[in-house]
Structure 1
Amino acid sequence: MRTNLPGVRSERRASVNQPLRLWGGRFTADPDPALTRLSRSEASDFGLVPYDLAGSRAHIRELGRAGLLGDAEIATIQKEIDAVEKLHAAGLIEPWPEDEDVQTFLERVLTQRLGPLGGKVRAGRSRNDQAANDLKLYLRHHARGLMKNLLSLQDAIVAQAREHVATPAPGVTHLQAAQPITFGHHLMAHAQAFARDAERLIDWDRRNAVSPLGAAALAGSAIALNPELVAEELGYDGSFENSVDAVGSRDHVAEFLFVTAMHAVNLSRLAEEIVIWCTQPYRWISLHDSFATGSSIMPQKKNPDIAELTRGRSARLIGGLMTMLAALKSLPLSYNRDLAEDKNACCDAVDGLALVLPAMAGLIATMTVDVATMRDAASRGFTLATEVADFLARRGVAFSEAHEITGALVRLCEETSCQLHEIDDAGLASIDPRLTPDIREHLTLEAALDARMAKGGTSPARVAEQIDRLTQRLAVQRDWAGGYRGPQP
């Protein structure tokens, strides 16, 4: 956008109203339009403006330490950087079509506003270390936002699990009724996966809180000689060990994309179960009207669209990870333009989860559980059969034999259309005399649940302890999310 906008200083001279290129002195011809279109960064790159400006603030102080800028010049540039950030946030400064990337855009704007002083900011750095730094700052900042949304989802799951610590539900394998568990225990299985997602994010940040600024194009800078100070100012834990690695690596991007893709997969698994639980054959839960949709033709419909959209979005996040891995697999060191693929994949992952997580958290927090229907389902399909085998094993019967006896008892129940606890004494004895009447005290949902009393089991007491332990882990995650020292536009 070239027209003067409210609050935007007029160009100091006509020459700076022309498109800016950060290269080209040795070229005798302008870039072909086809090259320009291909070379121009996509929209995600221009979303990194605040992070590039944060890097520039730190860099101009480094130029001051190097003697290239005086205090008054630093103050003038700092004031203009602050103004540009505010104007850009308000939509009053926008990239031109000719701006190749975010670095070109911002240098053009600063040069328009500062004249030759704006051009001094480029000294001692390269687009290579700038681009690496911009994305790192973006990811480290947005990792905290992702964590906060993850915490909201985990909080919603934990709240529902507390309500249903002792609610019997069918535990399934192969989507077949297996053994009774509590619904709280099942929900906490999802919470454990999300807690690991959160901890992967913390671990990712610990490993990658390293500044690339000062690496310049690839060999390091002969001007910016204090990368450790710049790193500290930007909230990093340290600066790069190897300048080639600093600009040529993107394993931190691939790792971030793995963390988000794994999180999307875990979300998709939960979403799939929500869809199943809502179906008429199940009817275990009902969704709040504010987190469900309807049909344009069938008035009775209430659809779990949030869960379905979450399943679909997971495919994109998996695709982003594959894109980055494929882009990296054959790249020689150090920097190559192939690495420009990093920003689209990262921004799509961050934006996608920013949409999905609050919706899923709200869906979980507001859903209603049909305890009676779930309890009835928990005892169907002979889910208490393992109690019979365990009963025999505790009385000295080899489990292989106990398994066969229990199978025969199940077969009798199927033939007589009854449940295990409904077989009379004669029926039990006809299968095996060791199936004594006192077995019936073990053939209740509560007895089966209470029997699983080891740590990690589905006994209500153990589930309550599991919730307490997870709550302590969530406190660590909250501290991490709130303790970031880097730029937070």
Structure 2
Amino acid sequence: MKLWGGRFEKNTNIMVDDFNSSIRFDKRLYKQDITGSMAHVTMLGKQNIIKKNEADIIKKGLEELLADIENNKIAFDIKAEDIHMNIEKLLIERIGEVAKKLHTGRSRNDQVTLDMRMYVKEEIIEIKKMIIELMNTLLDIAKNNTSTIMPGYTHLQKAQPITFAHHVMAYFEMLKRDLDRLMDTYKRTDSLPLGAGALATTTYPLDREYVAELLDFDKICLNSIDAVSDRDYCIELTNTLAMLMMHLSRFSEEIILWCSNEFQFIELDDAYSTGSSIMPQKKNPDIAELVRGKTGRVYGSLIGLLTTMKSLPLAYNKDMQEDKEATFDAIDTVKMCLPIFTDMLKTIKINAKKMYQGAGGGFTNATDAADYLVKKDIPFRDAHAIIGKLVLYCVNNNKSLEDMTLDEYKNVSPIFENDIYEAISLETCVNKRNVIGGPSKDMMEKVIIINEEYLANIINILD
């Protein structure tokens, strides 16, 4: 008979057992479930809700059960439905009737959200560490490429010259926001739901503050209905992970472009590339492509969670069992992508010559040519029109701005002098952009130092 079966006259259908069961996926919560139970039973003994010696027996039984699970000595039973009932059933088999007192003053409703909150908190810490490793990798790449000039793009058209350091540090800024969102999610997850019961707490004199202290929760859920029906923390985490994957996907798309024959800006290491079964010349960026593809999977988890929760009345509903697989899969996907993406970046070869050549085409210095005129007191709109005419002339005559003679410049505007050539050199275009946030070597070195300090502070917080 089920542990909850006293009200029923016959057993559930075997198909119902399978359909209703979540042990196939929530078994990963065994540690959180047992840790939460140990804190709960310790509090029950402290409050004399059960006898102190009974609490000690139950706690010892839970500790031994945890050790056996971690040593792969335990098989879970699908008929026991979920990890909570499996643990309780196994405990009763081991220590007898006293184990039945473990569930005093709690419900599976507050128990499951406790487990999930504990799990989400732990996973956020692990994912933050992975993001920090990726950010350190970007910093290393940036420090080595503050003078590596490449074209910057808008609309995937060459726009202005920048440096590779400047480009990769744009992704660093995205990851900073991802870290901030993760830390915010952690704060909102860090609230103890245990003690809420099924939805209306209990008549037992629980010490919820003591349990929160034992389980390292910062605060306590103040409304028992919300405590058992809230899955915002799962949705918020999955949303944050979806945005993180979006950033990795954008970066992956650029890596795929950069290592193509058309760009040749970078070359991927053989260890992070694959070949073709028919075309012997191929070296495919499969890792970047898979990261890009798996982004959709995390999006799916987010949409699934939002859809599951959108119409649920208060308080707990069985639909909420669907929170786990979506959250687990989003976490697993991100934890699979981050390390291999980071390692792939660590091993790329940068073709600085090709990047420089790329920056030299497409009139990326046209804005600087316009700025040259502005600095000679020509209104910007007039300067814009003059350079536009020069670009058209170059296109029609298969020239670049650097190739034009001074006479050709003066035919369009007498303002031009020999100093135009220095003004439109790629090095000038980059290094004169010495505004904070800009691509100049000096500014990038300052920004790198700022971000090294940022990461050091984040690591101190984690420690």
* Shorter-chain TM-score range: over 0.9
TM-score, normalization by structure 1 = 0.93
Q: Which residue of 1 aligns with 2:271?
A: 290
| Conserved? CA contact 2:47–2:207, under 8 Å | no
| Conserved? CA contact 1:199–1:477, under 8 Å | no
| Conserved? CA contact 1:202–1:480, under 8 Å | no
Partner Cα distance (1:416, 1:426) in 2: 15
Partner Cα distance (1:473, 1:85) in 2: 39
Partner Cα distance (1:474, 1:339) in 2: 37
Q: Which residue of 2 aligns with 1:334?
A: 315
Matched, 1:128 2:117: no
Residue from 27, 51, 75 that aligns with 2:8: 27
The letter of the residue matching 1:401 is D
| Conserved? CA contact 2:145–2:165, under 8 Å | yes
Q: Which residue of 1 aligns with 2:460?
A: 479
| Conserved? CA contact 1:198–1:477, under 8 Å | no
Secondary structure of the equivalent of 1:169?
Answer: strand
Residue from 38, 41, 48 that aligns with 2:29: 48
Identity %: 37
Structure 2 residue ranges without an equivalent (≥5): none
| Conserved? CA contact 1:66–1:223, under 8 Å | no
Matched, 1:407 2:388: yes
The letter of the residue matching 2:90 is V
The letter of the residue matching 1:245 is D
Residue from 53, 56, 81 that aligns with 2:62: 81
Partner Cα distance (1:42, 1:182) in 2: 52
The letter of the residue matching 2:301 is G
Residue from 51, 57, 60 that aligns with 2:38: 57
Residue from 185, 192, 214 that aligns with 2:195: 214
Partner Cα distance (2:292, 2:201) in 1: 44
Residue from 63, 70, 80 that aligns with 2:51: 70
TM-score, normalization by structure 2 = 0.98
Secondary structure of the equivalent of 2:78?
Answer: coil
Structure 1, residues 17-72: CA drift from partner, whole Å, max 9, x if none? xxx52322112222122322221115321110000001001000111123133332
Structure 1, residues 97-129: CA drift from partner, whole Å, max 9, x if none? 212011111000000001101111011000000
Matched, 1:157 2:138: yes
Residue from 345, 350, 355 that aligns with 1:369: 350
Secondary structure of the equivalent of 2:160?
Answer: strand
The letter of the residue matching 2:170 is A
Please identify, of 473-482 and 352-361, the stretch whose mean Cα deviation from structure 2 is larger: 473-482
Partner Cα distance (1:224, 1:96) in 2: 33
Q: Which residue of 2 aligns with 1:176?
A: 157
Please report how far the alpha carbon of residue 238 of structure 1 lies from its aligned counterpart in structure 2 after TM superposition: 1.1
Structure 1, residues 188-234: CA drift from partner, whole Å, max 9, x if none? 00111011101111111122210101001010122252111101111
Q: Which residue of 1 aligns with 2:207?
A: 226
Q: Which residue of 1 aligns with 2:424?
A: 443
Q: Which residue of 1 aligns with 2:262?
A: 281
Q: Which residue of 2 aligns with 1:303?
A: 284
The letter of the residue matching 1:249 is D
Please report how far the alpha carbon of residue 159 of structure 1 lies from its aligned counterpart in structure 2 after TM superposition: 0.6
Secondary structure of the equivalent of 1:47?
Answer: helix
The letter of the residue matching 1:269 is R
Please identify, of 300-309 and 262-271, the stretch whose mean Cα deviation from structure 2 is larger: 300-309
Matched, 1:424 2:408: no
| Conserved? CA contact 1:48–1:134, under 8 Å | yes
The letter of the residue matching 2:98 is L
Q: Which residue of 2 aligns with 1:456?
A: 437
Secondary structure of the equivalent of 1:48?
Answer: helix
